Structure formats: structure tokens, C-alpha cells
Amino acid sequence: MIGLLLRVLGNEYAKPMRRTVALMTVTAIVEGLLYALLVPVLHKLFGANPADAWPYLLGFAGAVAVYAVLRYLSDVSGMRVGTSMLRGMYYKLGDHLARLPLGWYDATRVGDVSTMASKGLLAALGVAAHLLSPFISAMVTPLTIVAVMIAYDWRLGLAALAAAPLVAVIQKWTARSSAAVDAERHERDNEAAGRVIEFIQAQPVLRAGGRTGERFGLLDDALRDVERTSRRGVGAVLPGAVSLTVTVQTVFTLLLVLGTYLGLGGDIGVAELLSILVLAARCADPLLSLSDIGGKLRGARVELERLDTVLRTAPLPEPAEPVRPDSHGVEFDSITFKHGDRVVFDDVSLTVPVGQRLAVVGPSGAGKSTLLQLLARFYDVDAGAVRIGGVDVRSMDTEDLMSRIAIVFQDVYLFDGTIEQNVRLGRPDATDAEVRAAASAARLDEVIDRLPEGWSADVGEGGARLSGGERQRVSIARALLKDAPIVLLDEVTSSLDPVNEAAVHEGIERLMAGRTVVTVAHRMRTVRRADRVVFLDGGKIVEEGSHDELLLQGGRYADFWNISTASTASG
Amino acid sequence: MNVTDLVDAREQATPPPEVDSAATSGARVGSLLRPFAGKFAVVVALQVIGALAGLAPLLAVVEIGRGLLASGPVDRDHIWTVVIIGAVGLLVRLVFTSASFGLGHYVDGAVQLGFRRMLAAQLGRVPIGWFSRRRSGELAKVVGDDVSAVHPFIAHAPGELVAAFVVPLASLIYLLSIDWRLTLITLIPVLLAMLMVPFFMLPARTQEQKDFDAAMGRIASSVVEFVQGISVVKAFGGAERAHQKFLRAADDFVDIFSKWVRGMSVVAAAMQLWLSPPFVLLVVLIGGTSLITGGDLPAADLLPFLLLGLGLTAPIAALGHGFDDMQTAGRAVGRIKEVLDVEPLPEPENPVVARGHRVELRDVRFGYEDDQEVLRGIDLTLEPGTVTALVGPSGSGKSTLVQLLPRFFDPTHGCVMLGGVDLRELGSRELYGTVSFVFQDVRLLRASVAENIALAVPKADHDDIVRVARLANIHDRTLELPRGYDSIIGEDVKLSGGEAQRISIARALLADAPVLVLDEATAFIDPQTEHAVRQALTARGTDRTVLVIAHRLETIAHADTVVMLEDGAIVERGSPEDLLARGGKFAAFWQAQQSAVAQVEPSGAAVPGEETR
């Protein structure tokens, strides 16, 4: 467990962690030893002269004081280690998430990762701060007490010791049987959480189909699965808890019978026997609490393993010696790329000379957006190479690569914050004047003028408080501010009305000026201005040339164009 | 999988859920728990009997001690009887507490399921607009984590809390019967611990607790944002800076957490020390030794205090231990109730059936916030068999207006009528069967393609699904998927934005409702689809009522009526030709659009009246 914790976090925490564990162990041993003083105290009290007990009692008091100090120190130490681990883990997770390939992120990740960042990390912290100390004390104190018993009476001591291996075996066995159920429960919980999110987001459509909560089978099934799994979880945990209780109680009964037998035979002093029985009763509680603590530890362990899995997912490899290209032509050199089992590109080659504009056209699902993502290295190609200025993007430093590319996405995602913060993301160190200039070039200033809070208007989660066209203007301003030599546009104007489209186009024209541009478009109008057009279908380039050439060719592109103009005419 | 499987069998089996908006959430939670009252009582009884039986072995040790320490010959039979009673006590404890644990968790599972279903039902009833102000992740947390947080309340609290009080009480009475002075001394640690409690309730502590919760919330939402916006994070690069918001939230959280813990560490440590077995034993021993040496207490009578005295701290420990859980559960219940307390859109008691499907808006006013009206007195009639184009600048209220038709919101003033009946008088099934829509933000479910298309018409057969898929231009793509129409979206395949849009169009086509509301920008995603949708819509031909948020000049030109919206009010309406001829606001808007289009594409656009209809 601690090994896992340290592996997840790295060795810088090993030393304070070891110190904490040592401190907690010493505390537990002191507690056990302190009980040993009970024997002489009781011996004197039950003897002829009870006042002789005082010196031992004084010793007992001294031991309690030592115990108190140790316990405080180990609590504080545990908390300190836990807190610094928590911080370390957040940083590690944050940095790692930013480096994982985009392909890693799918619909279920958002829920997974957010649970991990809240529940998971706190569970890990809890190990050090809350669970470790009771766990160590529940193991070590009874063992110390047993050692004390052996010292006073080996027969009773050994009888008590018999419990130790049994308890250990049961702990292991319970751990194994509940691990499977825990994992399943987690899966069901996540499944249900995903369904709830879906259920909420699809409300309009679901209501149209008359599906209220209890009639939406997918969600209800998920909820019932959660219940069934939790019921099965009880079935898995109960036998372990019961057998632990049986063991502890049997051993106590054994001590009771054996002790009575020995006491009645006069083989052991009454004070010793009674002290040992009191101590045995003292052992029972912490041992019984083991099943509870064990369950919590397992929960924390599962969270840690999950975290470990994420942290061990390899990010896209970084080059040891990054190369910096000195020009910005783009080249796709016979690339092959698979997404899962699906071949997206099969031996595709393309070049865009510096300062030229390439338009990518094709039916949806043809991989147009993926082409842009490969250039920005959201994924790596399976074969071939993507180059910028003749340099493979894989030999470039990611920061450097990203600084050369400005992307305007089809779905604009804005961060919950002000418009200004979102624009500034393009270049955090830009001056106010530069930010204002980018905004007016993207015709974002019109939007800002209209909003009561202006620049400091909050855009809401994902930019929900702005319309599609307004979001798009923010993202163009962001790209303009970034001022990168390569511009990637992904169906930028597909869902805009003409006025917004015109505004956005004006911004885009400014963005494209003098830069290398790859644009994905299905509004045919935007394609005509490109220097070259490629038509993509089925993972291949089907046609390639200028707009006029392709129209003359009368192929797929021409069909596309004709349908597009026909729908305008037929209404 | 058959599409109709989606609809749970209970749809037929149970009457529709009672919609009783007058019932408070508290009453509803109560009614949820009531059927389990008997079982709760059994859980408590089992736990109490088991816990009391657990005292037997301790009492046995006391009796053995008394027997052995007594002067005169030892009564062996009595001692062995005592040993047997102690052993039986252990067995009873084992059986009863295990039974209580098992039953408690069983009930817990059932109650949690009940809570979650209640929440799901509620989420299916609240006005759609309510969701726009909430993060769906947070709501999922209410249904998931918050309901789970109630677990200790249900599964543990009844048994354990009662046991934590009953057993010490029984012990206390027993100890009092032996020696009241030593009993009072034994209570000293409990008293000391109770004196610590107010320190946990200091305003500073409560404030820190609140800060902690807030910081935790910030972490959760910043990580959601971080992950959802990951493409932007990557595009604007710098692992160092783009996610600094998340790291800031993390730093903040850790700082607040440390401060909170530090503030309590000394008090908590003191409290734990007072309740720790070594300290309790020390107090009992000192008190006992004083009494014994003074000749006030027989030595054997010290034993019960050594054995049972520790148990007296249990209520404080249970309270302290359960305090966090209980606070967490309390906050969770608060959030659950908050969701349950949202007023659903009221369902009519006696739904009226609409006559025809003319849509009328009468003096409709609406605002999302009380002080900001988005629609300001709209009067509008949509005749069957006509297409009405809604135009106007962005922010004029077009999207809000169309959302009133499927009753995402109720107007704050005036009414929306369908076939002469106020939407509020109409049963929701009938409303949604009549009004179909294609809006922005397509959400697909993690279900098969067929199920996604048939979402609004669960009983549709496969041929119909294929037919609309063809029309919406998604059929060929679907056949390419690993399992065709049975491919699970999100598992077998990830669809692009355009493909998702097509599925939503197929949905609307399948629904084939007599009233159709659509946003052109999202409905016409590419030339091929636009063409298909236009054809499919006109194929029904005769009497469909269509309201479209129009952006394309060609759509506007071919509408029967154009309604120009500005700042939440209708400024002009009429046929496109008449409006152009009038030379008013619409004409100006038209010119602006046209020059905007010309800017993009110099070949010009359609002018109304110049083309054959």
C-alpha cells in the first residue's frame, strides 16, 4: 500500500513517510507496553498491601504521558506528509493530463478524471493522515500485548498468539474477495454517473419521446446495477468480517477457558490471570476494527491504483534533442493513421508550401479534422511522417510546435471566465492594446459592446452564455493574438448565419494573411479562395487541384459543388 | 436489441408518477423511507441485542475474578457456568450483529435506489431551462455521490448509534450499582472530552469547513473544465500555464485544508487523548487505588471498571466519529432536497386534446431572470401548411422564442396555444408527439445508432429507421460501422459533429410531427444534407406547421411568412416580397445580409420573386 503510494508519487516522499510509519509503530508499541504495567499494579492491589501499587501507578502515568506526546507527534507528522503528498499529486496529475495524447480523452474520461481529482486524491491523503495510524495501532498494539502475555504466562500467551496468523490470513482473503466487488462497484457508479449526464443533456429529446426518469430504461438499468453490485458487495465483505469476529472471539473464549482452568488449578496467580484477561479484552476491540479499517484502506488502494494507471499512461514521446524548423511549409509524407480499428488515412501525401492555403473537402467522417489534429500532434501517425519546415513534428519540442500553430476549432470551447481571459489565452503576456486589437480584428468588439459587463462578461461553462457565432469570434481573436505562422481552421463557419459568417470571415482573412493555412470546409463558398483543394474520402485523396481545375474535371468535387448550388436554387 | 426494450416494462405496469408539486421534498423523502420503517426497527433491535450480549464475556471475567479473589473455597461449578455464559454471549453477539449488518446494508441499497429513481424522475420533470444554469456533472454527483453519502445514515447510524448509547448506558447503570464514586471518576475522561466539543464549533472552524467545501467544489469544476477543454489546452500549449487554473485551485484547496486541519489539530489531539484507553485506564486506576487503599472499595470491584469503563467513552467517540459522516450526509441531503424542491412544469390534471395544429402565441412575455425580459409581448400565429421564417440579429430572442413551442419554458405572461389549447393544458406526451425540433447542441446517448434515431418514437420499426437514416444521409456511414445500426455510439464508434447532427435530423424526420421547429444553422449542415432535409420536409407537403430560424436568404425568400424579431419584439411581419417592397427594417436587414453574403461569395444570392416557386 505504502509502496504503491510512493510509486505513484515518487521517492521524494519516501523519507518523511518512513519516519511517520516508524513514529506510529513506536507509539503503538508504547501503548502495548504501557498495558504491561497493569500486571504489577493489579498484583499489588489484590495483595495484602494495596498502597504498594502507587509507585507502579506513577510509572503508568509517566508512560501515558510519553504515549500522548508520541501520538501527537505522529498525528502531526501523518497530516504533514499527507498534505504535501496531496499537493504533489495534484501537480503530477495536472501536468500529466496536459501531456496525454488527445486520443486518450473520450466521453467517459471527464467523469473519471474529475472523480479522481476529488475523491481519489483525498483517499490517498486519507491513507497517510487518517488510516495509517489506526491501522498500525490495531496491528502492533495487540501484538505487543501478546508479547507481554507470553512474558507473564507462556501458555496463555501462545494461545493468544494463535490468533495472529489466522487474522492475517483472513485479512488477505477478505481483501481479495472484496477487491473484485469494489472494482465492479466503481465501474457501475461511473456507468450510472455517465447515464445521468446523458439523461440530463438529452432531456429535450427524451421528453419528446415521453421518457421521463422512470421510463428511461438505460438510466434505470444503470441505477439498478449500482444497487445490485452494492448488495453483492455486502455479500463479499460480510464473510470476512464474520470470520474475523469468529476468530477473535474464539481465541478470547479459549483464553477464558484456559485461564480459568489454570487459575482454578493454582498454576497462575489471580492477579496475573485477571490482568491477562483484561488485556485480552483490550486486544479484541482493535482487532475487530481491522475489518473496518481494512475496507477503507482497500478503497484508498483502488483509488491509488486508478491514479497510478493514469499516471503510467505514456504521453506522446518528447524528443531528446528537439529540432527547430526555420520555415513553415507543411508536409504529410505518406501517412497512415488508425483510430481504434478504423483506418482513417492510408498512405496519404500532401504538401502546403509556405504562405499557401489548402482547403480540405469531403463527406463527413472522411477524417478532415483528424488531418489538422495530426499536424498539431494531438496524435502520432502510425506510419509516414508529418513535417513542418522539413522537420518531423515528433522531433519538435511540444511547446515549440504549439507556438507555431494557431487553431480555430469547429466546436469552440471557452473556459469559464471572462471574455478577456479567454482571448488572452492566445498569448498571456500580450499587452492590453494587443488584446484590444485582436478583438476588433475578429469583430469581437461588437459583441463586447453589446454585453453589459463588456470585457469582463463571464462566458459560462464551456462558453454557454455566448452564441455560436460569438464564441467563434472569441476563438478567432485568440488565434489572432497568438500570431502563429501556421493557421488551422476546422469548419469554422459551418453553423453561422450570414452576418456572423461575414464577420468571422473578415477576421479569418486577417488571420490567414501571409501564413500557411490548412482549412477544413464544407461551405463550398469558403473553398474557392484556397490555392489548392483536396477531396478526401475513404482515407485517401480522391481529387486534388485548384477549385476551377476540379470543377472542370467533373469528378466528386464537382458533384459536391453542384449539389451545393442546386439546393440554393431548389429551396 | 429491440428499440422498444429501451422503454422499461414498468411503463405499462405502473401508473405514471404522481406529480404533486405541493408535496415538499421532506415529505417525499419521508414517504420513501416509510416502507422501510419495520426493517429499520429490526436492524436496530438486532444491533442492540448483539451489542448487549457483547458485555457478557466482560461480566464473566468480572465474576471469575470475584470467585477467585473471594475468601474461602472456590465455587468451581459457578465459575465454569460463568465461563459458558460468557462464551454464549459472544456467540449471540456474533449472530445478531452480523444479521444487523447484512440487513442494514440491504435496506440501504434499496433506499439508495429509491432516492436515485426519485431524483431521476425529478430531473425528467423540471423545466429544461433549469439545466442551463447547472453543470450536468454536479447533478450527476447529486444522484451518485450525494446519495451514497447518505449511506452511513441508513446502513450504520440506526444500529451503531443506538448501540453506542444503549450499551454504555447499561454499563453505567451496572457500574453505579457497584460503586457510585468510582463510576463518577470513570466518567472524568468523558467530561473532559465533552468540554472540547465547543472548540470544534467555533465560528472560525465553521468558516474553515465552509471554505474547505467551496475549495473542493472549485477543484472538481476546474478539473472538469480542464479535461473538457483539453484540446484548447493543448492547442494553446504550455503544460505550464494552460492548466494553471487547475493547479491554482489545487494549491488553494491544499492550503485551506492545511489551515483547517492545523486549526483543529491541538483540540483534536487533546480530545483523542482523553478518550484513549491508556488515559481512561489511568484515571480508573488512580481512582480505584485511592478508594482501595482508603478501604472504601473491595479490590475485586475494580475489575468491572477496568473492563467496562473504556466502553463509557463510546458515545463521544461515536459522535465524534460519526460527526464528519453526519455533516457530510447532512450537506448531501441538502443538495438532494434542493433538486427535489425545484418546481416541475405543472402537468394538467385533466389534459385537453388539441384540435388541429395551428400554433398561436398570445402576448407572450418571457425572461430567464426576473429583471430581464427576453421576449416582450409576442403575438404570432403559425398556420398549418405554412413555413414561417424567424429572422433578426443575434440576441433578438429567436432561440428563446422557438424553445417555448416544445415547452422548455413556460412564458411568464401570455400563452402559447396549440390547436386552440394552451400548452399548459396539454398532456406532455401529446405535446411532444405533436411538436418536433432540431436545435443546437445535439446530444447522442451511449446506445445503438438505431436507438438514438428512434429516441422520440420508441416503437418505430427497423425499416422506418433505415428510411430516415437514408434521408438524413447517415445510412451509408452507419453500415460501415462494426455492428451497423446496433453499433453503440461512444463505444463502437465515435461520431463526428456532423454525423451526430445527421442523427438528430433523422430523429426529427422519424418523429414526423405535424409541428416542426428548427434552427437552420444546425439543420443544414452540408449541401447534401440540406438538400435531403428540404426534400423530406416538403414531401409531407400539405399541412405541416414549420417555424424556422432562418439565416439563408434562400430560405427566407421561400418562406410563406417572415417574422422579423428585434430586441424581443416583432418589428415586421409579412410575405418576403411585401416586406422588401415596404423598405423597412426587414429590407435593411436583407440588404445587410446580402452584402455580407456577397463579401463571402461574390456570385450573389437569390432575390425573392425572381425564382420559380
Task: Name the residue facing B599 among A403, A468, A502 (closest C-beta).
Answer: A502
Q: Which CATH class is domain A330-570?
A: alpha beta
pLDDT in the model for residue B65:
86
The pLDDT > 70 percentage for chain A reads: 90
Q: Is the pLDDT of residue B603 over 60?
A: no
CA distances from B36 to A227, B14, B23, B42, B114 (A): 16, 20, 20, 10, 11
Are the CB atoms for A214 and B117 separated by under 8 Å?
A: yes
pLDDT confidence of residue B507:
83
Nearest by CB: A203 against B79, B128, B273 = B128
State yes or no: pLDDT of B10 exceeds 60: no
pLDDT at site A253:
86
Tell me what the mean pLDDT of segment B141-163 comes to: 74
Q: What is the pLDDT of residue A25?
A: 94
Q: Considering only residues 504 to 533 of chain A, which have any Cβ-Cβ distance to chain B shorter than 8 Å? A: 505-506, 522, 524-526, 528
User: Could you give all domains of chain B from N- to C-terminal order, each with its CATH number?
Assistant: 24-178+316-344 (1.20.1560.10), 359-600 (3.40.50.300)
Output the pLDDT for position B321.
63
- pLDDT confidence of residue A363: 74
Axis crossing angle, helix A53-99 with helix A132-152, rounded to the nearest 10: 150
The answer to whether A94 contacts B119, with C-beta atoms less than 8 Å apart, is: no
DSSP H or E run through B438 = strand B435-438
State the span(s) of chain A assigned CATH 3.40.50.300: 330-570
Stronger pLDDT, B101 or A216, i.e. the higher one: B101
Please report the beta strands in A142-191, taking only residues with DSSP state E, as ranges in sequence order.
none
Question: Residue B530's closest chain A neighbor by CA?
Answer: A567
User: Can you tell me which residue has the cell 420536409?
Assistant: B537
pLDDT at res. B324 = 67
pTM of the complete model: 0.70
Alpha-carbon gap, residue B192 to A453, rounded angstroms = 56
Residue A208 confidence (pLDDT) above 60: yes
Q: How many CB pairs under 8 A join A and B?
A: 490
* Closest Cα in chain A to B64: A260
Of residues A101 and A371, more confidently modeled: A371
Residue B13: what pLDDT?
32
Give the Cα separation of B128 and B132 in Å (integer). 7
Question: CA B493: distance to chain centroid?
Answer: 27
Higher pLDDT, A38 or A235: A38
* Residue in chain A nearest B104 by alpha carbon: A234
Residue A363 at interface with chain B, using a CB cutoff of 8 Å: yes
CB atoms within 10 A of CB A566: 11
Contact A117 B219 (CB under 8 A): yes
Residues of chain B found within 8 Å of residue A401, distances taken between Cβ atoms: 237
Edge-to-edge strands, sheet with B561-566: B435-438, B515-519, B545-549, B387-391, B561-566, B569-574
Q: What is the pLDDT of residue B188?
A: 92
Choose among A71, A285, A253: nearest CA to B314. A285
Residue B170 DSSP SS3: helix
Q: Which carries the bigger pLDDT value, residue B511 or residue B287?
A: B287
Q: What percent of chain B has pLDDT over 90?
A: 10
pLDDT over threshold 70, residue B559 = yes
Q: What is the pLDDT of residue B1?
A: 36
What average pLDDT does chain A have?
82
As a whole number of angstroms, the distance between CA A91 and CA A100 comes to 14
Q: Which residues neighbour B271 within 8 Å (Cβ) at sequence distance 6 or greater?
A: B193, B196, B320
- Decide which of A381 and A9 is more confident: A381
Residue A258, pLDDT > 70, answer yes
The reported pLDDT for the residue numbered B313 is: 79
DSSP state of B513: -
Mean pLDDT over B100-112 rounds to 84
C-alpha distance from A469 to closest chain B C-alpha (Å): 9
Assess contact for A345 and A393: CB atoms under 8 A: no
Show residues of chain A in contact with B286, CB under 8 Å: 57, 61
Of all residues in chain B, what percent carry a pLDDT higher than 70? 81
- CA-to-CA distance for A560 and B23, rounded, in angstroms? 58
Q: Which residues pair with A351 in a beta bridge?
A: A331
Question: B456 and A205 in contact by Cβ < 8 A?
Answer: yes
pLDDT attached to residue B365? 92
Average pLDDT over residues A516-527: 76
Closest residue, chain A, to B428 (C-alpha) = A210
Alpha-carbon gap: A192 to the closest alpha carbon of chain B (Å): 7
CATH 1.20.1560.10 region(s) of chain A?
2-312
pLDDT at A395 over 80: yes
What is d(CA B82, CA B87) in angstroms, rounded to the nearest whole number? Answer: 9
Q: Out of A205, A282, A399, name the one closest to residue B277 (CB).
A: A282
Helix (H) or strand (E) holding A331: strand A330-339
Highest mean pLDDT pick, A1-15, A169-183, A213-227: A169-183
Q: What is the pLDDT of residues A339-367, one digit of tens each?
A: 777 788 888 899 999 989 899 988 766 78
Q: Determine whether the interchain pair B599/A468 forms a contact, defined as Cβ–Cβ distance below 8 Å.
A: no
Out of B17, B136, B223, whose CB is closest to A117?
B223
Q: How far is A466 from chain B (nearest CA, A)?
A: 9
Query: If pLDDT is split at 50, 70 and 90, which confidence band does B183 have?
Result: very high
Q: Name the minimum distance, in Å, from the CA of B366 to any CA of chain A.
A: 17
In this structure, are residues A337 and A366 in contact, taking their beta carbons and an 8 Å threshold?
A: no
Give the pLDDT band (50/70/90) at residue A217. Answer: confident
B16 vs A contacts (CB less than 8 Å) = 212
B344-389 pLDDT, tens digit per residue, is 777 777 778 878 888 999 999 988 777 778 888 899 999 888 888 8
User: Per residue in A308-346, pLDDT tens?
Assistant: 888 888 887 888 888 999 888 999 999 999 877 778 888
B317 touching chain A per CB within 8 A: no
How close B287 gets to chain A, by Cα (Å)? Answer: 11
User: Per-residue pLDDT tens for B408-442?
Assistant: 888 888 999 998 888 888 877 778 778 877 765 56
Whether residues A193 and B144 touch (CB distance < 8 A) is answered with yes
Region of poorest pLDDT, from A396-405, A554-563, B10-19 = B10-19
State the nearest Cα–Cα gap between B194 and chain A, in angstroms.
19
pLDDT of residue A567: 45
Higher pLDDT among residues B171 and B147, named by residue: B171
Instruction: Give the residue-averaged pLDDT of A218-238.
Output: 81
> From the candidates A104, A412, A461, which should be mutated to test the interface with B, based on the most B CB atoms within 10 A?
A461
Chain B residues within an 8 Å CB radius of A41: 285, 289
Q: State the alpha helices, DSSP H only, in B276-379.
A: 277-293, 302-308, 314-340
Interface check for A65 against chain B (CB to CB < 8 A): the answer is no
Task: Tell me: pLDDT of B453 over 60.
Answer: yes
Chain A interface includes B368 (CB < 8 A):
no
Distance CA B212, CA B256 (A): 6
For chain B, the average pLDDT equals 78
Question: HEC profile for A29-66?
Answer: HHHHHHHHCHHHHHHHHHCCCHHHHHHHHHHHHHHHHH
Could you say which architecture CATH assigns to the domain A2-312? Up-down Bundle (1.20)
A144 vs A211 pLDDT, higher one: A144
